[in-house]
Chain A
Amino acid sequence: MINTPLFETKNCLLTEIDYETDPERDSLLSQDLRYARYLNRAIPKPLSKSEIKKIYEKLEKSVEDGSSTIHFAIRERKNPQLVGFARFNWILWNHAVAAITIAIGEPSCRGKIEAELIAHLLNYAFRELNLYRVDCYISQYESELEKALIQNGFSCDVTLKEADFFNNQYWNQLIYGITHDDWKNGAEIHVG
């Protein structure tokens, strides 16, 4: 039997989008511009429920059209309201590579759940999607995320100097990556 849970970690659930409750919650979370930047890269701003719905619809259409994106709404197990999202972007099946995005909007969760989510996403990437390599593009100011990536065996492979502008300053964009072999030979973490 295969009984490793793919969609739950020790503290979180990886679920589908809930069109009933998530737009209002994401609208509230988008008041934090750090999180809003993940929802709408073009113009980071607090978003209305209707704008959030449009983002979801566009996202789900891209999932249907191209199968190069996999999206999970992230909820806490103890209180299953939305706290952020995790996503596989740019999955190139012919090269078995993808990039992950982890965006946590709930302030009380930030810095606390990223490590277990990344461990779980790697398990999903290498044991379900059969990927060879996973990358994660982050801004230099995302220190909680950076710490969680390093904890999971990622190494910083690329530094795009001053590629991001946020809060009145330029930040390096960092690309962290891990291959299946690196993960297997040491970084593999048993998911809860």
Chain B
Amino acid sequence: MLDNEMNLRGELVQLVPVEKDRDSKVFTQWRRNSEYSRLLNGDPAIQFSAKSIEKWLEKNELSSELVYFAIRKLADQQIIGEITLDDIKPFSTNVFVGISIGEAPLWGKGFGSDAMRLILRYAFTILNVHRVSLTVFGYNQRAIRSYEKVGFHHEGKLVNWLNRDGQRWDLHFMGILKSDWEQLIKFE
């Protein structure tokens, strides 16, 4: 039997569609924090206008290769982060998840882990992928701990892959198989 209502709501957050009009300015504000920008990806940390973010969001609306959600805090409905599933293809075996909490005061308070549990459930039970992967920079230890907590396994690292702030850092790969996730939720 299916539940009467199936939504992407967890204990702390809900995954909701990104609204380009509502969110582009918020996303721009988050990127003014260079610490945040340097956690996002390997591109040089630069500033984007709300207009350019809006244009990018519009381009990816209804994309069949990318799932893009905003993370909304249940307590006050504030948009606090973004989460994506990328590299989705027909018959995808493996997809990559990317997550960021833009509101820095909320880092380390469990919102990211809650959002990650929701996206895993979505990836495995709706998209029916075999596994979910992620990459994370060696200097983002807080994120690594959060991913371990949710059930991701370490699968290796590309040593000295990233050159940032005057030194080189490793790129870590983590992943979780559907079968491992199914075991995990049995005990939750």
Contacts and interface: CB of A to CB of B under 8 A. Distances in A.
Given A158-B158, A160-B133, A177-B159, 16 more contacts: A42-B89, A94-B42, A94-B163, A95-B161, A95-B162, A95-B163, A96-B163, A97-B162, A132-B163, A157-B156, A160-B173, A162-B93, A162-B130, A173-B94, A179-B159, A179-B160
B105 interface: no
Most chain A CB inside 10 Å of its own CB: which residue of B90, B130, B164: B130
B161 A161 contact: no
Contact of B158 (A41, A133, A159): A133
Interface in B131-185: 131, 133, 153, 155-164, 168, 173, 175, 177
The 8 closest A-B pairs by CB, nearest first: A158-B156, A163-B94, A165-B93, A42-B89, A158-B173, A95-B163, A157-B156, A94-B44
Interface string A149-188: 0000000111111111100001001010101000000000
Chain A: interface size category: 20 to 34
Interface residues of B, number: 26
B133 A163 contact: yes
A92 interface: yes
B91 interface: yes
A41 B131 CA distance: 17
7 contacts: A92-B42, A97-B161, A135-B158, A156-B156, A161-B175, A175-B156, A175-B158
Contacts of B43: 92, 94
Nearest to B153: A161
A159 B155 contact: yes
Given A94-B44, A158-B155, A173-B94, A163 B131 contact: yes
Contacts of B131: 160-163
A2 interface: no
B44 A133 contact: no
Contact of A157 (B90, B93, B158): B158
Interface of A: 41-43, 92, 94-97, 132-133, 135, 156-165, 170, 173, 175, 177, 179
Contacts of B156: 156-159, 175
Most chain A CB inside 10 Å of its own CB: which residue of B89, B91, B93, B157: B93
Nearest to B135: A158
A151 B99 CA distance: 38
A43 B90 contact: yes
Given A95-B42, A95-B163, A163 B93 contact: yes
Contacts of A159: 155-156
A104 B161 CA distance: 27
A186 B94 CA distance: 35
Contacts of A170: 93, 130
Contact of B90 (A42, A95, A164, A177): A42
